[in-house]
A and B are shown apart, each in its own frame.
Chain A
Amino acid sequence: MIRGLLKSFFLHLFIVGLFMYGAEIFKNNKKFEINEIPLDIVDISEQTITKTEKKNQEKATKKKEQRNKGGFQPPKVKSKPKPPEFSEKENVTKKKKEKIKDDKEEQKQKKRVDNILKSIEKMKSEKNNKQVAKTDDLKPDKQLDENDKDKSVNLGEKLTISEKDAIRRQFYRCWIVPAGAKNIKDYKVSIKLKLNEDGEVISSKIINNSKMNNTFFRTLAESAVRAVNHPDCKRLKVPKKKYETWKETILDFDPSVMIN
């Protein structure tokens, strides 16, 4: 009885395991491919602050600081006050002195904060200038980097759609599609890349090289290899923390969408 139960249990486990493993195999088959819908899941904090709100807040704090600068600046003392005539006045002047001291300390602190804010602004403006100099494609990279900082990524985690799109966008510039070649839309070239931790291509190999005798396939394959070796695409824009995911990447160069 127990043996039978055990047998059936392990048999069931085996079938479940086989299905899990098999499901991965089916992935290469287009019939079982599920079209991915671009959707990013982002953790939302308890209080949501939009970018515009953040900016407004920052502006408001800056304005306040500026006001404080102007409003709380004590007048410079040109001459020392005369010795106190009454004891009450003494107390008042002591209190005033203390106040002035406190104000001075506050001012110092505010100055420091101002300086730090200014330096951060400088940094930001420099970054912005650099970004303007580069192409628009770099914008998602910044986002990626920010995402890297925010999220802790586990091993084997897949790339998000936006990360994949960043790679696609990168190759848009590098891949010159041989538009003149006949029937090129019927072919697809798969190149396996090995990447180092910086995202640089160490080696590239055409996987489906059986059709290399066909001149049009060869033309397409060569154009794809040129794209991979292009200086702008030699280093892929990938999130460093997900190295395990992209250390071996297969790129499928498919001109059919473009030509149709």
Chain B
Amino acid sequence: MIFMKYFLFLLFFYPFSIFAELRIDITQGNMDPIPVAILEFNSNSKEALEISSNINQVISNNLERSGLFSVLPKKLFFNLTIPFEEKPTFSDWKITTAQGLVHGKLKIKNDKLDIQFRLWDVLSQKQMVAQKLTTEKNNWRRIAHVISDIIYQRITGESGYFDSRIVYISESGPKSNRKKRLAIIDQDGANHKFLTDGSYLALTPRFSPAAQEVAYLSYNKRIPRIFLLDLEYWDSKSFRRFSRNDI
């Protein structure tokens, strides 16, 4: 009993602080771009190889231009291809200072692209995302933008903006005969197209928040009207004209 009392007495004065874990606040980090290694997607045919190279270029440009990523040059890589079904050897990739690794495979079937890709966290040695995408062969640029968006969103948390287009009014010609044309362009400067021929004034284009449509004000035949242009069926020129009552 006396022993117990002594024990309790000592216990009360025992420094419990030695059991407390060390806690350190890390409040300062850096804002450097995240180094990412992007491999060309594995492909069999020559055509697929070319498309794979193009897609790789577009993804690299997109991520690099965002300012949040730095795409590592290929000369740093030990392996230029990784079998899609296999895990990469992360130790090799750690040496390159890469924190993210993108690789995949590309197939062409009946003029359709079939792309599968994976994004790996090299330092945590975990797969961050894996997706399969299919599209028309001519639409490879769009799919590259979509892949860029997925990578961007997964790493930064913000939704990507690469698969977006810009509608604007292009001005040309002398002051006395100024031409204002409605034009559309991809965010990376590709696929530039004029939507009106410049024979009449076009102003204030606005994208539809939901559909692939653009609303703009036109002075065709000197009457101000709002037109709704469907971008998907642009070739068929499916305009919808508003009456004065609509305005």
Are B99 and A226 closer than 8 Å at their CB atoms? yes
* B85 interfacial contact with A, CB 8 Å: no
* Contact segment of B18-26, B106-114, B207-215, B236-244: B18-26
User: What range describes how many residues of A lie at the interface?
Assistant: 35 or more
Name the residue of chain B whose CB is nearest to the CB of A155: B18
* A254 interfacial contact with B, CB 8 Å: yes
- Which chain A residues border B73 with CB–CB below 8 Å? none
Are B28 and A176 closer than 8 Å at their CB atoms? no
* B16 interfacial contact with A, CB 8 Å: yes
- Which chain A residues border B16 with CB–CB below 8 Å? 20-21, 24
- Which chain A residues border B19 with CB–CB below 8 Å? 24
Interface centre among B24, B28, B99, B123 (most CB of A within 10 A): B24
Q: Which of A20, A24, A182 lies in contact with B158, CB distance below 8 A?
A: A182
- Which chain A residues border B23 with CB–CB below 8 Å? 249-250, 252
Q: Which of B24, B25, B30, B68 lies in contact with A175, CB distance below 8 A?
A: B30
- Which chain A residues border B28 with CB–CB below 8 Å? 168, 171-172, 175, 257-258
Known: A176-B99, A226-B99, A248-B21. A218 touches B27 (CB 8 A): no
* A138 interfacial contact with B, CB 8 Å: no
Distance in angstroms between the alpha carbons of A223 and B19 in the assembled complex: 29
Are B27 and A24 closer than 8 Å at their CB atoms? no
Distance in angstroms between the alpha carbons of A17 and B17 in the assembled complex: 13
Known: A168-B28, A177-B31, A252-B24. A219 touches B99 (CB 8 A): no
Known: A176-B29, A181-B156. A156 touches B24 (CB 8 A): no
Are B30 and A173 closer than 8 Å at their CB atoms? yes
- Which chain A residues border B20 with CB–CB below 8 Å? 24, 27
Known: A219-B156, A231-B94, A248-B21. A17 touches B26 (CB 8 A): no
Question: Chain B binding site: helix, strand, loop or mixed by DSSP?
Answer: mixed
Are A249 and B12 closer than 8 Å at their CB atoms? no
* A162 interfacial contact with B, CB 8 Å: no
Distance in angstroms between the alpha carbons of A252 and B26 in the assembled complex: 6
How many Å from the CB of B168 to the closest CB on chain A?
25
Known: A178-B156, A180-B156, A222-B121. A254 touches B12 (CB 8 A): no
User: What range describes how many residues of B lie at the interface?
Assistant: 35 or more
How many Å from the CB of A173 to the closest CB on chain B?
7
Are A156 and B30 closer than 8 Å at their CB atoms? no
Q: Which of A17, A215, A248 lies in contact with B11, CB distance below 8 A?
A: A17
Known: A13-B9, A181-B157. A249 touches B18 (CB 8 A): no
How many Å from the CB of B198 to the closest CB on chain A?
39
Are B157 and A225 closer than 8 Å at their CB atoms? no
Those of B113-160 within 8 Å (CB) of chain A: 121, 123-125, 128, 153, 155-158
Distance in angstroms between the alpha carbons of A215 and B153 in the assembled complex: 9
Q: Which 8 A-B pairs have the closest CB atoms?
A: A17-B12, A156-B18, A175-B29, A219-B157, A181-B157, A177-B29, A229-B123, A257-B27
A172-B29, A215-B153, A222-B124 known, 17 other contacts, Cβ within 8 Å = A13-B8, A14-B12, A156-B18, A176-B34, A177-B30, A179-B31, A180-B157, A181-B156, A184-B157, A192-B21, A219-B155, A223-B29, A225-B123, A231-B94, A250-B21, A252-B23, A252-B25
12 contacts between A and B (CB under 8 A): A24-B20, A171-B29, A177-B31, A192-B21, A222-B155, A226-B123, A226-B124, A229-B124, A231-B94, A250-B24, A257-B27, A258-B27
List residues of chain B with CB under 8 Å of any chain A CB. Answer: 5, 8-9, 11-13, 15-32, 34, 68, 94, 99, 121, 123-125, 128, 153, 155-158
List residues of chain A with CB under 8 Å of any chain B CB. Answer: 10, 13-14, 16-17, 20-21, 24, 27, 155-156, 158-159, 164, 167-168, 171-182, 184, 192, 215-216, 218-220, 222-227, 229-231, 244-246, 248-258
